[in-house]
Structure 1
Amino acid sequence: MPEPTLVRGDITTQVVDAIVNAADTRMRGGGGVDGAIHAAGGPAVLADCIARFPDGLATGDAGWTTAGRLPARWVIHTVGPNYRAGQRDRSLLTSCYRRCLEVAGELGARSIAFPLISAGIFGWPTDDAVAAAVETLRATPSEVSDVRLVAFGADVHDLIAAALEH
């Protein structure tokens, strides 16, 4: 298992085999990371979501689509728990990271970039979202050799950096 690395920036610009999209269960695009990935990837991402996942995905699960115009080869969509809506089972959050690594392995991806899942509009407490990401990525066996956590803002970047030091 490689140690996750930290990048400050925009996940849609990461040159990796797969980027992770924090989606909702419908997988039809939305706000935050999901909206940014769909906008940057173009209509091919949504079309592939509709074709592959006509009924969406369950919370904690993951699946892949084309990356469209993104520099990545694939988008691995995962549905994080919506803390604001009462989904507070941490195992659903950690399942997102594990399932994404499993899907990446099935695809033969060697590099993957993750956002901080559920910490945005879904309202998962940021400190715990960071801890769940770092702990799970460190503990999950994977053939992926380059695992990145991409932080858009300085506050989240600093929290992830502190967690990675421990």
Structure 2
Amino acid sequence: MKLNLHFVALSLALSLPAASLWACIYDGAGGPSEVDPAAPTAVFATQIAISDGELAAIEPLSGQVALQRSLHWLEQLRDLQEAAGMTGTLHIYLAEGGLWSRLSDQDDLSASSLLESAHRLKLQTHSLPPRGGERILIVTEAALAALVNQQLSLQQAQQLGIAKLKIKPYPIKLQSN
């Protein structure tokens, strides 16, 4: 039975990049979006962690209801990062929904796209993908829920493969003679 679940999860993960070429599948906002290459691996690892009992499953939702739930978790993550003294910018990619968000202590975010701008850290959803050298957290919805509910630490989530914290590499520029 476990092998069948892993096969289904792998099939889902392999289909993710093709399905996520448009920004956010929760509400269709935005245009073409960059899919982080670590996203399918995180989705696959999440399915394995759930089937192995290492991660609690979340209720499957879609559309605006799923978006609102994810926004709530992102706001909780912002509050936790703010309390921990986070500085700089962190891009967050919700793997299943293709949603890029951004936490930043900088004032360069558009006021129309901010959630609760009274906070020191600003949360922008439907943001542009990060540029080279910027921090990224790739996470699934179930992993985000476990992180904000303090059921798992970021280190534990990374060990399970359900979250990945990385720096986006700079693009390689090849010069021709």
The answer to whether TM tops 0.5 is no
TM-score (norm 2): 0.28
Higher relative contact order (CA 8 A, sep 6+): 1
Q: Scaled by the length of structure 1, what TM-score is found?
A: 0.29
